[in-house]
Amino acid sequence: MAKKGEGCVHIMLKSTESDHEYHTIKNKKKNPERIELKKYDPTLRRKVTYRESKSSK
């Protein structure tokens, strides 16, 4: 059986238009490329594109 969380890493999603960040987990085995999502930015009060950035950990 596979272990829980095996292949998963913590990542930061950084807004392309402000300094806001989201923290999440992704499976590097299933998605080796960088993630790009549209999410709500509370500082701008609208949806913007968030890109995966390098984590400090």
Model pLDDT for residues 7-40, shown as the tens digit of each residue: 899 999 999 999 999 999 999 999 999 999 999 9
Domain contains 15: yes
How high is the pLDDT of residue 1? Answer: 65
- Give the pair of three-digit tokens for residue 1: 């059986």
- Give the pair of three-digit tokens for residue 43: 């500082």
Residue 56 reports pLDDT greater than 60: no
49-57 mean pLDDT: 82
Domain contains 38: yes
Domain contains 1: no
SS3 3: coil
Residues 16 and 7: their CA atoms lie apart, in Å, by 27
How high is the pLDDT of residue 13? Answer: 97
pTM metric for this prediction: 0.83
- Please tell me the total count of domains within the chain: 1
Print the domain residue range for 28: 8-53
Pairing label, strands 36-41, 46-53: antiparallel
* C-beta of residue 53 within 8 angstroms of C-beta of residue 12: yes
CATH number, position 49? 2.20.28.120
Pairing label, strands 36-41, 8-15: unpaired
Domain contains 36: yes
